[in-house]
Amino acid sequence: MPGPDLKHDPTELVILCVLAEEPLYGYAITKRVAGQSGGEIKLSPGVLYPLLNLMEKQALIASTWETVKSDRAAGEAGGEADSAEAGEGGRRRKWYRLSPKGRKRLVQRIEAHKAYLSMIESFLPGAPKGAEGGRG
């Protein structure tokens, strides 16, 4: 199991990265991640929303609610588990943005990810002998 400096949590890293670009609501995060990864990373609501909730509790992200008018039929929320009924005025959409603490975590996660990749690369054929962590 990797040490604390090599904690590898690509889902949190990906979410931190997209929120560093701009505030987004849950469904938009899912779409951005899928689009940017060429469809390779698909965040289901069962993965995304609990992680957003945890990140919010850890003060890595902050959120605000917005009421959105929609032409969609009732009950068709496009997969948005963070939408709530808001009466006749529309539905509520929760927007997430990176907090200052989240920006610090992003820097830490990027460094940890690079260290993790470097460690894995040390095992690949053609890796320099005596690479950090060596194969002795």
Contacts with 68 (C-beta within 8 Å, 6 or more apart), sequence order: 90, 91, 92, 93
| Sequential pLDDT tens for the chain (136 residues) | 444 444 566 899 999 999 999 999 999 999 999 999 999 999 999 999 999 999 999 999 999 999 988 665 444 444 445 555 545 678 999 999 999 999 999 999 999 999 999 999 999 998 876 545 444 4
Buried b (16+ CB within 10 A) or exposed e, 83-115: beebeeeebbbbbbebbeebeebbeebeebbeb
- Reference 83, options 93, 95, 98, 68; nearest CA is 93
Q: pLDDT at position 69, please?
A: 87
Show the 3-state SS of 39-54: CCCCCCHHHHHHHHHH
Q: pLDDT at position 134, please?
A: 46
Q: pLDDT at position 87, please?
A: 55
Contacts with 81 (C-beta within 8 Å, 6 or more apart), sequence order: 26, 45, 48, 49
Q: pLDDT at position 129, please?
A: 65
Q: pLDDT at position 90, please?
A: 85
